[in-house]
Structure 1
Amino acid sequence: MPIPGNLLTTAMASALSLDVPFWPQLPNYSYYEDMYVQAAEHFPGILLDVEKRTLRFSLEKFIAEVEETLARFDDPSYFDISETYSAVYHRFLALALADRPAIRGQLEGPISFGFNITDENDRPILFDDTVRPFMLEFMARRINVQLDRLRAVNANAFMFVDEPGLQFLFSALSGYGDIKAKGDMDEFFAMIDRPRGIHLCGNPDWDFLLGLDLDVLSMDLYTNREIFAAYGPSIRRFLDRGGVIVWGIVPTGFEAFAKEDIPSLTAQLEGVWEILGKKEIDRDFLLSRSMLSPATCCLVNPDRDKTVDRAFGVVKEMSLRLREKYRLA
């Protein structure tokens, strides 16, 4: 398993200073850098207006373009992220990162993409039985192509599938229940090369999420620690299958960050580990399958990027202190 544990650090925004670096998505720099826009590149039927910063879908346009897209399904370059859609990604690929424990990439997942991209009738394309199966395979190919590019830079590369929409899966909209969602997500992950995982900042159905065939789960523990700690059996099964948990414990929002310090955040994190220990999850094994990160990918604060930079520093310092305390290599 190339995904490291032992409380090494990674995150969801932008950093080369952490143990496992990644390329950032910077929508404030360009609308092309928006995570939904990046995922939409070459997707048939997309109506993108960069100046108005809108992203929509036309079924008529989809029907007209899908045959051309299918003809390019065996062309990896067609599914990669172009320099227009992310200059940062291509700059990242040019860096010397072979000596890092791992590196990571990301792409928006099909549930969130399908919820947020709507057709002429404001209906999410996730509910279109014609578009949805195509979308699953399209996104899987895009993830696999990016993973191959990253592996050329570092053999231990892995991918996050960003899925904020999973927290709305069973409550916000009707017509797409848990049985259908489970089948689609199982099909989707079966098409994705390992190692692969999910990142989200919200509060989904954790039994559902931990039951998917993931190698790594990145989540906002700071906000959801009491809820997440209640899912001991599912967490244990996930770890026993070889899963890695990225504990997002350091808040990046200005107000939340100002209320905390390293001792308070450490106490919150270790409190969750203590609860899980009482549910027969061995602490040493848990730590061997754990990483640390900021809690969320916060892009806007009153002090611009200062709080985020400080949060990254806290993640690094927490990692150093905890690794020393628990004698982790």
Structure 2
Amino acid sequence: MLQTLTPDCLPLLIGSMPMNDHAAASRLIMDYTPSIPLWVQLPVFPEEGMVPQFLPGMPAVVQKDGKMFIDAAGESFDDDLLVFFEAYMAVSEAPDLLPGSRFALGEATGRGVAALLHTLDRIKTPPVAVKGQVTGPVTFGTGVKDQDGRAIFYNETLRDAAVKLLALNARWQIRSLSGPGCPVIIFIDEPALAGFGSSELISISKEEILACLREVVAGIHADGGLAGIHVCANTDWSLVLESGADIVNFDAYAYFDRFILYGDPIRDFLKGGGLLAWGIVPTLEPEAIRRETVDTLYARWQAQFRQVEAFGIAPATLRAQSFITPSCGVGSLSLDLAKRVLGLTRDLSATIRDRL
């Protein structure tokens, strides 16, 4: 059964941190956003990159000359593919088999999850929610290459395998993180959607993208999770708003003027109970991170809030259906700047909740 959540402008983080210690990163998250803790990706470890973290579960993965790719021309490819889909069918019919399967993160790739589980075991009061994340099917499918350097998204069979891998990984995360008994949020991280409609993704249709997103969202919903989609730049927001996701996370700091153009889909999404995660705290430009304060961000957010309210959304409803987030992850920043982003997110959320 799908759990419900009223965020009421609580702070929510994106996932990456510039650290090399998972336990320390998990403690830091609890210092800043204890109401919704999450497992942290540490990009300093190559195996925790957006693509490498989920790649090991795919069929026919080959490592050569320092690169990992799918060898669709290899002699064992058909056998590997058969084994993959047999495993998919088995786990789909018996989800209790997910732990230890190829669809779960392993010891090297899942250290962030393990650190969060250790943290959750030690807290006395359950949080409001717990968050995980999975690389989105478009970002993953265009980031993984075959033996000829062609993105696997353009191979329908491999695209299908990738979508099913990500959907089952999301289900594994929900089951792993459900111990406290609170809602589990899984963000589908889709930075590649910023290229939708450009020459980079010119041959990919909206229908193909929606089909992929909806299958991952359906996987999250199958185990009662809440599905979010995070895009850290501009995109066709009607696509994201119509994906079936429960939460849409957008860069409100740099791209609100583009997002607000989608008035009808935004109104329909909110009136259908969808939640907005306002990425109002900057992460891309160090100067902006240093310059902005809680008061300047509050004024910016308040002006944006009024524009969305003008679509016919009651202020109390809009507040109840909103999170406050950074515009993106902070894994590429210095630790000092990352902590400033976390502090601004926490304190802006507290200010909004106090003043409204």
Instruction: Please say whether Structure 1 and Structure 2 have the same fold, judged by a TM-score greater than 0.5.
Output: yes
- Relative to 1, partners in 2 of residues 1:243 and 1:298: Cα closer, same or farther, differing over 3 Å? same
Verify the 8 A CA contact 1:39 1:139 in the aligned structure 2. Answer: yes
Give 2:55's aligned residue.
40
Superposed counterparts of 1:14-25, under 5 Å? 14=17, 15-16=29-30, 17-18=32-33, 19-25=35-41
Aligned partners of 2:338 and 2:320: how far apart in 1?
A: 27
Counterpart of 2:71 (choices 37, 54, 58) is 58
Verify the 8 A CA contact 1:4 1:291 in the aligned structure 2. Answer: no
Deviates more, 1:200-209 or 1:167-176: 167-176
- How far the C-alpha of 1:45 sits from its partner, in A, is 2.1
- How far the C-alpha of 1:134 sits from its partner, in A, is 2.2
Aligned partners of 1:318 and 1:299: how far apart in 2?
A: 21
Give 2:250's aligned residue.
219
Verify the 8 A CA contact 1:45 1:60 in the aligned structure 2. Answer: no
- The sequence identity of aligned pairs, in percent, is 24
Counterpart of 1:76 (choices 90, 98, 108) is 98
- Of structures 1 and 2, the one scoring higher in RCO (CA 8 A, sep 6+) is 2
Verify the 8 A CA contact 1:160 1:199 in the aligned structure 2. Answer: yes
Aligned partners of 2:129 and 2:219: how far apart in 1?
A: 22
Aligned partners of 2:210 and 2:352: how far apart in 1?
A: 36
Report whether the alignment pairs 1:183 with 2:211: yes
Matched residue count: 321
The letter of the residue matching 1:113 is F
Q: Structure 1 regions of 5+ residues with no counterpart?
A: none
Counterpart of 1:156 (choices 173, 178, 183) is 183
Aligned partners of 2:130 and 2:346: how far apart in 1?
A: 16
Give 2:110's aligned residue.
86
Verify the 8 A CA contact 1:2 1:102 in the aligned structure 2. Answer: no
| Partner-residue secondary structure (3-state), 2:257 | helix
Counterpart of 2:150 (choices 116, 123, 129) is 123
Verify the 8 A CA contact 1:136 1:188 in the aligned structure 2. Answer: yes
- How far the C-alpha of 1:166 sits from its partner, in A, is 1.3
Aligned partners of 1:154 and 1:218: how far apart in 2?
A: 24
- Over 6 Å off, 4+ runs: none
- How far the C-alpha of 1:121 sits from its partner, in A, is 2.0
Counterpart of 1:308 (choices 308, 313, 338) is 338
- How far the C-alpha of 1:86 sits from its partner, in A, is 2.5
The letter of the residue matching 1:160 is F
Aligned partners of 2:228 and 2:78: how far apart in 1?
A: 31
- Relative to 1, partners in 2 of residues 1:280 and 1:106: Cα closer, same or farther, differing over 3 Å? same
- How far the C-alpha of 1:129 sits from its partner, in A, is 1.7
| Partner-residue secondary structure (3-state), 1:100 | coil
| Partner-residue secondary structure (3-state), 1:246 | strand
Give 2:290's aligned residue.
258
Verify the 8 A CA contact 2:174 2:220 in the aligned structure 1. Answer: no
What is the TM-score with the length of structure 2 in the denominator? Answer: 0.85
- How far the C-alpha of 1:48 sits from its partner, in A, is 4.0
Deviates more, 1:202-211 or 1:83-92: 83-92
Give 2:22's aligned residue.
none
Verify the 8 A CA contact 1:22 1:103 in the aligned structure 2. Answer: yes
Give 2:129's aligned residue.
102
The letter of the residue matching 2:252 is L
- Relative to 1, partners in 2 of residues 1:271 and 1:106: Cα closer, same or farther, differing over 3 Å? same
The letter of the residue matching 1:182 is L
Verify the 8 A CA contact 1:151 1:157 in the aligned structure 2. Answer: yes
Q: String of CA shifts for 1:57-112, please: whole Å, max 9, x gaps.
A: 21135434122223333230212111211322112112235611001001111111
Report whether the alignment pairs 1:275 with 2:307: yes
| Partner-residue secondary structure (3-state), 1:130 | helix
The letter of the residue matching 1:166 is L
Verify the 8 A CA contact 2:57 2:165 in the aligned structure 1. Answer: no
Verify the 8 A CA contact 1:93 1:153 in the aligned structure 2. Answer: no
